[in-house]
């Protein structure tokens, strides 16, 4: 429901007033009394009162002369015009029914110099079937189920797509490094729609012109040791992430599946202090928000981020597919995960300020073509295609 047309909107006026007054909409699942976040969605008390007064007055239309023009859909990138567009080698066929394991696709980059990513945006070819996707630097030539998520710090994260999320725009003075000759791994979680579908997604990338002072890393407090008992409504799971060196914490991205109930992040500093950083009392698998701190936090070496999650495997959970079974870690939607993701900037060990080549502006030299890998194509800003070939992608079982 777009709420663009007056007649359509007024038909749902009572429901709109209810979900807004109860703060179920706009969707924001974090406790507003814990932390401050620059991307917080919500309405002020005055805005809610204005909306309620409109409903109580029988939804008057108002003066048509003051009505703004209807918004026009625009096929533009939110990050601006990309320097590179990386496309899947071919469409992935998504079956009508599940369950589905993650799909893995690899794309060689073939660049002979490191690239530094300033912004990245995923454009799903078929948003109806893509639940979420991450793209990172592959550590294996033939990844299996669970890879690369076994790394405690996925330093090669390049882009992500999450329900309710937004493009990755790196903090000022930082970027993500794509090493020369890297292979990009797409890890995609598709969900069936009841009919056969296909998807061929793209990633747009804006590059930095010089080596930044900080590298953005994706840190994860996670555990795969999950065994949630049947009918258990408040099963507690803990995981930790330790800062081996000082860093700057920018955001949190918790990830669970259908039985995820709540999650919190607490910092335990070396001097004994503790601080609750984020509390999500009503986790929603359909809205996997990245909570962006209003003020980034400098975190000293030795700090532990303690992540505590609760899972609801009871009959009272309407999303629970089977409250009578033990639930373990797994990639399928009916399995579970416990990932306390964080965007962290660490000092860059590579020479800061050194100019780096931008293949979109200065021409690029692809390296030798890899073997035994999925293909793809990389399109530069001027339309030049650096590489275009395809083989089958790898699929986790």
Which of the two residues, 344 and 359, has the higher pLDDT score?
A: 344
Q: Is 17 helix (H, G, I), strand (E, B) or coil?
A: helix
Q: Among candidates 275, 225, 279, which has minimal Cα distance to 252? A: 279
157-166 pLDDT, tens digit each: 889 998 888 8
Q: Which of 57-61, 212-216, 268-272 has the highest mean pLDDT?
A: 268-272
User: CB 198: neighbour CB atoms within 10 A?
Assistant: 12
- Percentage, residues of the chain above pLDDT 90: 56
With a CB cutoff of 8 Å and minimum separation 6, the contacts of 110 are 181, 366, 367, 368, 369, 370, 378, 386, 387
**What are 263-267's contacts with CB under 8 Å, separation 24+?**
263/307, 263/308, 263/309, 263/310, 263/340, 264/307, 264/308, 264/309, 265/221, 265/305, 265/306, 265/307, 265/340, 265/342, 266/305, 266/306, 266/307, 266/308, 267/297, 267/299, 267/303, 267/304, 267/305, 267/306
CA–CA gap between residue 196 and residue 118 (Å, rounded): 36
CA–CA gap between residue 79 and residue 124 (Å, rounded): 15
What is the band of 361 on the pLDDT scale with cuts at 50, 70, 90? very low
CA–CA gap between residue 387 and residue 369 (Å, rounded): 9
Instruction: Kindly tell me if the per-residue pLDDT of 12 is higher than 50.
Output: yes
With a CB cutoff of 8 Å and minimum separation 6, the contacts of 15 are none
Question: Mean pLDDT of all residues in the chain?
Answer: 83
Residue-range domains of the chain with CATH: 6-66 (no CATH), 78-213+351-397 (2.60.120.230), 215-347 (2.60.120.230)
112-140 pLDDT, tens digit each: 888 999 999 999 999 999 988 988 887 55
Q: Which pLDDT value is given to residue 255?
A: 94
Q: Which pLDDT value is given to residue 37?
A: 96
CA–CA gap between residue 397 and residue 395 (Å, rounded): 6
Element (H, E) at 227: strand 227-228
Q: Which of 155-159, 282-286, 369-373 has the highest mean pLDDT?
A: 282-286
289-322 pLDDT, tens digit each: 999 999 999 999 999 999 999 999 999 999 999 9
CA triple 367-82-215, angle to 5 deg:
70
CA–CA gap between residue 52 and residue 63 (Å, rounded): 19
Which of the two residues, 258 and 90, has the higher pLDDT score?
A: 258
Q: Exposure string (b/e) for 237-257, b if CB count within 10 Å is 16 or more?
A: bebebebeeebbbbbbbbbbb
Least confident of 228-237, 363-372, 381-390: 363-372
Q: Which of 65-69, 106-110, 366-370, 393-397 has the highest mean pLDDT?
A: 65-69
Which of the two residues, 141 and 366, has the higher pLDDT score?
A: 141
Instruction: Kindly tell me if the per-residue pLDDT of 9 is higher than 80.
Output: yes
Q: Which pLDDT value is given to residue 380?
A: 52
Identify any residues that bridge with 276 across adjacent strands, giving them in sequence order.
Answer: 266
Instruction: Kindly tell me if the per-residue pLDDT of 269 is higher than 70.
Output: yes
With a CB cutoff of 8 Å and minimum separation 6, the contacts of 276 are 34, 35, 264, 265, 266
Q: Which pLDDT value is given to residue 316?
A: 97
């Amino acid at each position: 429901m777009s709420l663009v047309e007056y007649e359509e909107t007024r038909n749902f006026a009572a429901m709109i007033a209810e979900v807004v007054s109860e703060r179920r909409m706009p969707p924001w699942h974090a406790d507003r009394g814990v932390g401050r976040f620059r991307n917080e969605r919500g309405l002020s008390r005055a805005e809610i009162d204005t909306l309620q007064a409109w409903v109580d007055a029988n939804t008057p239309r108002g003066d048509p002369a003051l009505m703004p023009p209807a918004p026009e859909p625009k096929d533009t990138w939110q990050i601006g015009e990309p320097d590179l567009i990386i496309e899947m080698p071919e469409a992935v066929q998504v079956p009508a029914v599940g369950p589905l394991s993650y799909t893995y696709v690899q794309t060689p980059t073939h660049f002979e110099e490191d690239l530094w990513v300033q912004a990245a945006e995923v454009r799903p070819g078929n948003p109806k079937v893509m639940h979420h996707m991450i793209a990172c630097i592959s550590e294996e030539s033939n990844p299996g189920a669970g890879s690369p998520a076994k790394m405690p710090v996925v330093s090669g994260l390049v882009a992500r797509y999450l329900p309710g999320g937004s493009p990755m725009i790196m903090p000022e003075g930082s970027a993500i490094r794509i090493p020369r000759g890297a292979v990009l791994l797409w890890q995609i979680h598709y969900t069936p729609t009841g009919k056969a579908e296909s998807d061929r997604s793209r990633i747009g990338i804006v590059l930095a012109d010089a080596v930044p002072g900080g590298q953005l890393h994706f840190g994860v407090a996670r555990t795969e040791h999950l065994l949630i008992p049947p009918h258990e409504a408040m099963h507690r799971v803990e995981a930790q992430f330790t800062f081996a060196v000082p860093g700057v914490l920018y955001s949190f991205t918790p990830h669970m599946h259908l039985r995820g109930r709540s999650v919190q992040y607490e910092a335990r500093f070396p001097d004994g202090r503790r601080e609750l950083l984020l509390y999500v009392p009503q986790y929603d698998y359909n809205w996997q928000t990245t909570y962006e701190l209003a003020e980034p936090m400098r975190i000293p070496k030795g700090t532990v981020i303690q992540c505590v999650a609760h899972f609801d495997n009871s009959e009272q959970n309407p999303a629970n597919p089977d409250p009578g079974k033990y639930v373990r870690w797994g990639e399928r939607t009916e399995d579970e995960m416990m990932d306390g993701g964080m965007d962290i900037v660490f000092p860059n060990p590579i020479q800061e300020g050194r100019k780096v080549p931008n293949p979109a502006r200065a021409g690029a030299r692809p390296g030798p073509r890899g073997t035994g890998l999925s293909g793809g194509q990389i399109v530069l800003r001027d339309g030049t295609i650096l590489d275009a070939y395809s083989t089958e992608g790898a699929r986790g079982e």
